[in-house]
Amino acid sequence: MAVFKDVRLGEIPLGPDGYGEALLAVGPWSVRVTVDCAAGVDGSADLFGEEPADLLGRALRWAVSPGHETVDLFLDHHLSEFAPDELAAIAGEGAPSGLEGLRAALRPIAAHLVVGAGRGRQLAVDLGFGPDVTEVVLVVEVDGEGQPVSVDAES
């Protein structure tokens, strides 16, 4: 079995298809990191290009900032799905109510990295309320410079 070595995250076992995943503590979050290595990649790199918590935090802050229609629709939909006690459990004690409580409860739950043979990378960060809370997540695409560029909802 091949192993991908990230300079910050350590070793991630890869299957014969070049795909691997690991559950890692990244800053204040527990994040499932998936790696898909193209043929010809030698198996080591700095996947995030910076401290993972910094990049994930930037993607989160960007997505929850006002003005993203996709995020607003996502939150509005889930607000109508959760009973008040479920909303309190998700948002936490003392959190704002309604949409702002849900906005504050979003956190990175996964990072998906594709590493190309030319050392290019693609990164998407899944944002949600926690593992298994809903089947729909917000996906923030991050460019090669580590800057968020788009957000979509996916199931």
pLDDT score for 40: 53
CA distances from 52 to 59, 75, 90 (A): 11, 25, 24
Looking only at the bridges linking them, the beta strands covering 137-142 and 148-154 are: antiparallel
> What is the residue-level pLDDT of the chain in tens, covering all 155 positions?
788 888 888 888 888 888 899 898 988 999 999 998 865 566 677 888 899 999 999 999 999 998 899 999 999 988 888 888 888 888 887 888 888 889 989 999 999 998 876 656 789 999 999 877 888 899 999 998 999 999 999 98
Half-sphere exposure of 128 (CA within 13 A, CB side): 18
Return the pLDDT at 27.
Answer: 87
Per-domain boundaries in the chain: 2-121
The pLDDT score that the predictor gives to residue 142 is 95
Spatial CA neighbour of 60 closest among 129, 99, 106: 106
Name the packing angle between helices 84-91 and 98-105 (round to 10°).
40
